[in-house]
């Protein structure tokens, strides 16, 4: 009942064509920092502090960092995570929003995190932000030095809107990191155009930008990176509730559907990769985002089926982090609505989640031993679950049914979707 009335109120607040959530504040990316255990009021101050620390020249204490490094809230869920065995985890889109938050959480546990971002500069800035946050959160200079020194974060460039950049990323990984194997790979990056946008923007190879980035970029990366994932490794896909027209968010505006894949089919048959919509319809930015998230769910299920067929031990699961207006995802939406929506969703109606909690969801999917050992699962939670904090993971945040259309993963449609994706990216 509560969800229905909440949805009705949201529908009144926001325009009829919506992402099923919406909006983007100017300060969206910056605001994510407020969700760390200590906000960064002055980054410069922290950097000054860090350089002062370096000038002191104190050496890092060889401390058992794993417990020290955990902030109080991440420590709550520690029993589900095996932090003894250090892992190597790649996260796309880890310079902002839940990807950045998850990267910091995972790095704080002592695991190696590869920050795969649109540009190297953004990846380096993300690494600096993580170090700054940790410096701010440290007890003293010696503590800060030890914690920062123990961090293993590798900034790298991987622009998902350009297949050549993905190629370069993989080649560089093989060359500079000796083709080290990953324990987990998280396909988290995503864009959402302004829901009113009429102009079709395109990736370097000509794909419609939203599906081209959120699905095809990750699809191509997956093709290249799969041999570099450990036998018992996992893949995590950041999907969304809006993939499902029967969910509160997915019911707003034009619902997601890939139809009969006519847009993909035509692009493959004609060799012109400039499809507008997967289903062959007229471009609709709101629907394109929802479709891309449906692609994420179909991809998860079809990939697991293929991995199982070939006897691979790799497990793939996807999740919905919930409505988080404070990330950068809403950057292209109407600024006024974004702000109103943020206050309404997060403070008034309490259906929104915090970025830090969303990062916790990604951390849980990447590391927790409680996450589906057979793969192919979709995790989500009722709106407003971040009020339960870390306790929600494995309780409110749990396995759920995917949309009717995504359930077609057992049918020929999912196979065809996969084959067409292969042809589009040229593998
Ligand atoms: N926020 C929500 O309400 C919500 C709800 C459900 C699902 N999700 C999903 O959660 C994921 C993370 O989003 P978020 O909310 O944390 O938003 P965000 O702060 O905007 O993070 C998205 C990340 O994706 C990156 N990205 C976009 N295009 C890229 C490209 N071509 N190459 C490489 N990276 C690219 C962005 O990098 P730049 O900074 O360079 O653009 C950014 O780091 C997305 O998949 C989104 O669909 C979010």
Residue range 103-151, pLDDT digits in tens? 999 999 999 999 999 999 999 999 999 999 999 988 999 999 999 999 9
Residue range 169-187, pLDDT digits in tens? 999 999 999 999 999 999 9
pTM comes to 0.86
Q: How high is the pLDDT of residue 409?
A: 60
| CA 367 / ligand 1 centre spacing (Å) | 20
Pocket probe mutation, ligand 1, options 95, 123, 190, 296, max atoms within 8 Å of Cβ: 190
Band the pLDDT of 341: cuts 50, 70, 90. confident
What mean pLDDT do residues 380-404 have?
A: 95
**Pairing outcome for strands 398-400 and 378-380:** antiparallel
Q: How high is the pLDDT of residue 344?
A: 87
User: Over 80: is that where the pLDDT of 288 sits?
Assistant: yes
What mean pLDDT do residues 336-360 have?
A: 89
What mean pLDDT do residues 71-79 have?
A: 42
User: Over 60: is that where the pLDDT of 72 sits?
Assistant: no
Residue nearest to atom 17 of ligand 1 (CA): 329
- Select 2-61+72-425's CATH number: 3.90.226.10, 3.40.50.720, 2.40.40.20, 3.40.50.300: 3.40.50.720
Residue range 61-70, pLDDT digits in tens? 333 333 333 3
Q: Which of 31-45, 203-217, 260-274, 403-417 has the lowest mean pLDDT?
A: 31-45
- Around ligand 1, the residues with Cβ closer than 6 Å are 21, 92-93, 95-99, 117-118, 122, 159-161, 188-191, 213, 238, 240, 320-321, 323-324, 327-329
User: Over 50: is that where the pLDDT of 162 sits?
Assistant: yes
Q: Where are the domains of the chain?
A: 2-61+72-425
Residue range 22-44, pLDDT digits in tens? 322 222 222 233 223 332 222 23
| CA 237 / ligand 1 centre spacing (Å) | 12
User: Over 80: is that where the pLDDT of 257 sits?
Assistant: yes
């Amino acid at each position: 009942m509560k969800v229905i009335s909440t949805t009705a109120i949201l529908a009144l607040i926001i325009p009829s064509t919506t992402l099923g959530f919406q909006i983007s504040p100017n300060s969206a990316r910056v605001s994510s920092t407020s969700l760390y255990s200590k906000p960064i009021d002055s980054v410069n101050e922290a950097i000054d502090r860090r350089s002062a620390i370096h000038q002191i020249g104190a050496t890092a204490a060889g401390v058992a960092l794993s417990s020290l490094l955990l902030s109080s809230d991440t420590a709550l869920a520690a029993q589900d995570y095996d932090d003894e065995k250090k892992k190597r985890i790649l996260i796309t889109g880890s310079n902002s929003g839940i990807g950045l938050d998850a990267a910091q959480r995972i790095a704080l546990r002592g695991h190696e995190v590869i920050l795969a971002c649109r540009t190297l500069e953004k990846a380096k800035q993300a690494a600096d932000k993580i170090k700054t946050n940790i410096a701010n959160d440290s007890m003293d200079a010696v503590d800060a030095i030890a914690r920062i020194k123990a961090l293993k974060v590798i900034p790298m460039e991987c622009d998902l809107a350009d297949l050549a950049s993905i190629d370069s990323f993989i080649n560089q990984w093989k060359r500079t990191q000796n083709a080290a194997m990953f324990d987990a790979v998280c396909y988290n990056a995503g864009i959402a155009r302004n829901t009113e946008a009429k102009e079709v923007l395109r990736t370097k190879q000509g794909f419609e930008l939203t599906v081209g980035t959120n699905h095809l970029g990750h699809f191509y990366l997956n093709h290249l990176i799969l041999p570099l994932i450990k036998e018992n490794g996992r893949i995590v896909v950041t999907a969304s509730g809006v993939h499902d027209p029967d969910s509160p968010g997915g019911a707003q505006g034009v619902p997601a559907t890939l139809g009969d894949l006519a847009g993909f089919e035509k692009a493959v048959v004609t060799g012109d990769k400039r499809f507008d919509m997967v289903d062959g319809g007229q471009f609709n930015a709101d629907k394109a985002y929802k479709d891309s998230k449906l692609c994420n769910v179909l991809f998860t299920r079809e990939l697991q089926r293929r991995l199982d067929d070939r006897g691979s031990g790799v497990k793939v699961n996807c999740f919905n982090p919930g409505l988080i207006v404070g990330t950068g995802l809403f950057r292209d939406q109407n600024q006024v609505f974004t702000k109103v929506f943020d206050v309404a969703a997060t403070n008034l109606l309490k259906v929104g989640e915090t970025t830090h909690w969303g990062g916790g969801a990604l951390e849980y999917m990447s590391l927790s031993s409680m996450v589906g050992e057979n793969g192919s699962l979709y995790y989500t939670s009722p709106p407003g679950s971040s009020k339960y904090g870390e306790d929600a993971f494995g309780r409110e945040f749990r396995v759920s049914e995917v949309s009717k259309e995504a359930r077609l993963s057992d049918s020929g449609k999912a196979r065809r979707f996969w084959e067409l994706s292969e042809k589009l990216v040229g593998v």
